[in-house]
Amino acid sequence: MIILIDLHTHSIFSDGELIPSELVRRAVMHGYKAIAITDHADYTNLEQLIEAARKAKYLEDEWDIKVMAGVELTHVPPRKIAPIAKKAKDLGAEIVVVHGETIAEPVAPGTNAAAVACEYVDILAHPGLISLEDAETAAGNNVCLEITARNGHNRTNGHVARLALEVDAILVVDTDAHAPEDLITDEMALQIAMGAGLTEAQAKKVLKASTTLASPI
C-alpha cells in the first residue's frame, strides 16, 4: 500500500490558488495522508507564512490527514539560505524546502550547494542539473532530492533520479501544487517516479521515504 504524502505545496498565501482549507480538503479527496503547506518565503514573509500554515492544523481534527507547516525558500541568495532556514525551524516550520536550480527559472548559482550543506533544510526542490558533488553532499546530510510533478521543473527528473541512485541520496516525489489540478493520486505518484527512470520497486521505495519526514502520520 502506498501512503500518499506531499511535502511541497502552495496556497493563496504565496502564488497558489487555494486557501489552506480547500487545499487540504482536495488533498483528502485525492487520498493524501499528509500534506505540507510550503509557500514561497524569504525574510520578508517568513513569520506570516509559518503562522498561517500552523493554523491550518485545525483541519486535522476534522479529516484524516496530517497538515504540516513549512516554507519554500525561493530565490534566496545562497549565503542567506542557512540563516533563514534556521530561523524557519526556530519559528516552528516542520518542513523547510529550498527552491533548487531548476532549468525553468533563473535561480542563483550555488543555491543547490548551499541547500544540501544546511542542516536545517529537509528538501531540495527540483534541483535541475544538480552536480554529482552536490548530490553526494545531499546524501551525506540526509537532504532529500525532489522528483517533481510540476511541468517545466520536471524536465530534469531523470537526471536527479540517476544521480541520487548513484550516491544513495534520498528521493521524494512532490507535486509543487499551485492549483487544484496539480494534486495527484497514489497511482500517478508512482508513474511520475517510474517516469524518472526508476523501477517499480525503486519507485515504491521513494514514495515510502516521505513517511520519515511526515512521521508520525
In tens, the pLDDT along 16-64 reads 999 999 999 999 999 999 999 999 999 999 999 999 999 999 999 999 9
Is it the case that residue 92 has pLDDT exceeding 70?
yes
**8-state DSSP, 141:** H
Higher local confidence (pLDDT), 1 or 140: 140
Answer whether 81's CB lies under 8 Å from 43's CB: no
Segment 96-103 mean pLDDT: 98
Predicted confidence (pLDDT) at residue 217 exceeds the cutoff of 80: no
| Mean pLDDT, rounded, of the chain | 97
Which SS3 state, helix, strand or coil, does residue 137 take?
helix
* pLDDT tens-place string over residues 182-195: 999 999 999 999 99
Phi then psi for 32, rounded to 5 degrees?
A: -65, 145
Q: Categorise residue 152: left if φ over 0, alpha if ψ from -120 to 50, beta otherwise.
A: left
Evaluate if residue 216 carries a pLDDT over 80: no
CA 151 to CA 110: how far, in whole Å? Answer: 23
Per-residue pLDDT of 160-214, as tens digits, reads: 999 999 999 999 999 999 999 999 999 999 999 999 999 999 999 999 888 888 8
Q: What would the grid cell of residue 178 be?
A: 499551485
Read off φ and ψ for residue 115, nearest 5 degrees: -70, -45
**Tens digits of residue pLDDT in 104-122:** 999 999 999 999 999 999 9
Cell of 98: 529550498
Q: What percentage of the chain has pLDDT greater than the value 70?
A: 99
Phi, psi at residue 205, to the nearest 5°? -65, -40
SS3 helix, strand, coil % of the chain, rounded to 5?
45, 20, 35
- Topology of the domain covering 4-214: TIM Barrel (3.20.20)
Domain ranges of the chain: 4-214
- pTM for the structure as a whole: 0.97
Give Dmax (Cα) for the chain: 44
